[in-house]
């Protein structure tokens, strides 16, 4: 995990790393663009999460989907027929539609009562939290005993090519560079955060996807349509045309395939954890073994 992300994860006070107003503007712009298939990454992550949810072989009284862009996860929750009440939480009123009800909250203050829900999901909706440890602790508190949390977040390798090309290009032009692509977390750090929040049976795993584009402008346009551009508090716009041109030159030099297309990596990090309950499996206490290893060797 990059040092700036680690520093942000370890504190809960101002200044924020991410700007909530910019987040809202990014989300609204994506809704306005309404590009067909702009949600393909969200759909892929939601499908994987839905398969894992089906594998639990459980029904749930109440579920809350948090800050997931588009409706891919909600559609799976509804079609699963495993849930009695489904809520969608966002930072602004969505109106809701039957059978989904609307909730308003923020990523830093989800405002759910303790023990009020059986299932909480989020697809690419939590990485913009300015207090992810606190957010996860609130999620764990909101779950009933033996309640389930499932989420997908972008991992550290997401957009690593774009991050590298932009930093290199700006350094070549100005002699220094600023962060223009949001930092994302590493797998082992997410595992530690789940344990810190008090989840039982925490599991973290990843899947990589490579998306290819004919040009840098096509990649940027896709990110805007997805609502996936940078929301950094200290955000700086892409910059002059010279910077864009140099970024594409570096990008093509380092990450272009033989057919002229450039690669963009997306790392899906999947989190799952349960609210503790006495019925769950637990590791044996140290020293409780009744046989010696040497007896089997």
Average the pLDDT over 182-201 and give the result.
94
Is position 283 within any domain? no
Q: Distance between CA 273 and CA 199 in Å, rounded? A: 5
Is position 287 within any domain? no
Per the model's pLDDT, the better-predicted residue between 177 and 173 turns out to be 173
Using CA atoms of 109, 10, 269, 91 in order, give the dihedral in degrees to the nearest 10. 20
> What share of the chain in percent tops pLDDT 90?
66
Question: What residues pair up with 204 in beta bridges, in sequence order?
Answer: 271
Per the model's pLDDT, the better-predicted residue between 10 and 142 turns out to be 142
CATH number at residue 233: 3.40.50.150
- Please determine, for residue 199, whether its predicted confidence score (pLDDT) is greater than 90: yes
The pLDDT of residue 7: 43
Is position 281 within any domain? no
Question: What residues pair up with 121 in beta bridges, in sequence order?
Answer: 65, 150
Is position 191 within any domain? yes
The pLDDT of residue 8: 41
- Please determine, for residue 130, whether its predicted confidence score (pLDDT) is greater than 70: yes
Number of domains the chain contains: 1
Average the pLDDT over 243-266 and give the result.
97
Q: Which domain holds residue 75?
A: 3-276
Sign of CA dihedral 274, 276, 281, 287: positive
Is position 112 within any domain? yes
> What share of the chain in percent tops pLDDT 70?
86
Is position 295 within any domain? no
Average the pLDDT over 102-112 and give the result.
92
The pLDDT of residue 6: 44
- Please determine, for residue 291, whether its predicted confidence score (pLDDT) is greater than 80: no
Is position 64 within any domain? yes
Is position 296 within any domain? no
Per the model's pLDDT, the better-predicted residue between 90 and 10 turns out to be 90
């Amino acid at each position: 995990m990059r040092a700036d992300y680690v520093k942000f994860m370890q504190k809960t006070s101002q200044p924020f790393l991410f700007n909530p107003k910019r987040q809202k503007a990014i989300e609204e712009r994506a809704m306005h663009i309404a590009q067909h298939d702009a949600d393909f990454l969200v759909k892929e992550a939601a499908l994987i999460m839905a398969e894992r949810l089906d594998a639990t072989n459980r029904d749930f009284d109440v579920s809350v989907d948090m800050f997931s862009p588009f409706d891919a996860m909600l559609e799976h929750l509804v079609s699963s027929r495993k849930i009695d009440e489904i809520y969608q939480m966002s930072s602004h009123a969505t109106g809701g539609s039957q059978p989904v009800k609307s909730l308003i909250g923020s990523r830093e203050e989800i405002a759910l009562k303790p023990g009020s829900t059986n299932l909480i999901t989020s697809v690419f909706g939590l990485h913009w939290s300015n207090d992810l440890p606190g957010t996860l602790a609130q999620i764990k508190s909101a779950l009933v005993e033996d309640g389930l949390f499932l989420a997908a977040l972008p991992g550290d390798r997401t957009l690593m090519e774009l991050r590298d090309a932009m930093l290199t290009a700006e350094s070549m032009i100005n002699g220094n560079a600023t962060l223009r692509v949001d930092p994302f977390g590493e797998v082992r750090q997410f595992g530690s955060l789940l344990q810190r929040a008090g989840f039982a049976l925490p599991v973290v795993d990843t899947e990589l996807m490579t998306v290819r584009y004919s040009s840098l402008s096509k990649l940027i346009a896709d990110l805007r349509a997805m609502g996936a551009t940078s929301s950094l508090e200290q955000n700086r716009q892409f910059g002059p045309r010279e910077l864009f041109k140099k970024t594409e030159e570096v990008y093509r030099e380092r990450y272009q395939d033989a057919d002229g297309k450039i690669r963009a990596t997306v790392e899906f990090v999947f989190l799952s954890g349960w609210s503790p309950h006495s019925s769950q499996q637990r590791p044996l206490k140290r020293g409780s073994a009744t046989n010696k290893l040497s007896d089997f060797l």
